[in-house]
Amino acid sequence: MSAAPTIGVLALQGDVAEHIAVLRSLGVHAVKVLSPERLDAVDGLILPGGESTTMSKLALRYGLMEPLRERVEAGMPAYGTCAGMIMLADEILGGTHDQRTVGGIDMTVRRNAFGRQTESFEARVHVDGIGEDPFDAIFIRAPWVERVGPEVTILGRVTGPDEAGRIVAVQKGGLMATSFHPELTGDARIHRLFVDIVKGHA
């Protein structure tokens, strides 16, 4: 693969344009993914924030759920933010009865754990792999991780004051997920970390 991989952004719903803008600022060939054929052409995939139940329904409607699962199981790197974190979880708490996920990360995620839209907030989170300076994370109707399996690395936790210690960033091999929205911050360090993961899995 060339120095600049092709990274897709799942374009069913959510912060698609924002992720593409950050990836392109890093010199990455970034494309929208809305079909199995386009999914086959990418080296890695971002599953953006949005509404996880809607994303689940649209993935099924567009015939993408099984291709997504197959690519993830085959080792394609993927990064989920907020609703995308839920999509990569093997288990959801607070989901609807018919909600399905792509899975791949052995973790239990609670939907809307930090509260409703009006309870959105920002917090400084130390994230392993991006340097010593904390990340100014934006949480919008965000999930948190209640359990991780033995092969999952915890990259970051909220440090306070209300929900101190809650897991908000994880990695398992080429799969990464955050509760928050780095695409809205102007700080590209987490996207750069994912780009490096994609390059490393070439």
Q: What is the CATH number of the domain that holds 168?
A: 3.40.50.880
Q: Is residue 183 annotated as part of the catalytic site, yes or no?
A: yes
Give the active site residue among 18, 82, 163, 191. Answer: 82
Position 1 scores a pLDDT of 46
Range of lowest pLDDT (41-45, 116-120, 188-192): 116-120
Q: Is 98 helix (H, G, I), strand (E, B) or coil?
A: coil
The mean predicted confidence, pLDDT, of the chain is: 92
Judge whether 180 lies within some domain: yes
Give yes or no for a contact between 127 and 155, defined as CB atoms under 8 angstroms apart.
Answer: yes
Angle of helix 189-200 versus helix 16-25 axis, rounded to 10: 70
Q: What is the pLDDT of residue 50?
A: 86
Instruction: Give me the number of domains the chain comprises.
Output: 1
* Domain encompassing residue 62: 6-200
- The mean pLDDT of 123-129, rounded to a whole number, is 94
Contact call for residues 156 and 59 (beta carbons, < 8 A): no
Amino acid (1-letter code) at residue 41: A
2 pLDDT higher than 60: no
Domain assignment of residue 1, yes or no: no
Contact 43, 77 (CB under 8 A): yes
42 within domain boundaries: yes
- Give me the mean pLDDT over the 81-93 stretch: 95
Residue from 18, 163, 181, 191 carrying the catalytic annotation: 181
Catalytic residue (one of 18, 19, 163, 183): 183
If pLDDT is split at 50, 70 and 90, which confidence band does 5 have?
very high
Q: Which residue has the higher pLDDT, 35 or 51?
A: 35
In a domain, 155, yes or no: yes
pLDDT of residue 3: 63
27 in any annotated domain: yes
User: Has 163 been annotated as catalytic?
Assistant: no
Residue 181 a catalytic site member:
yes
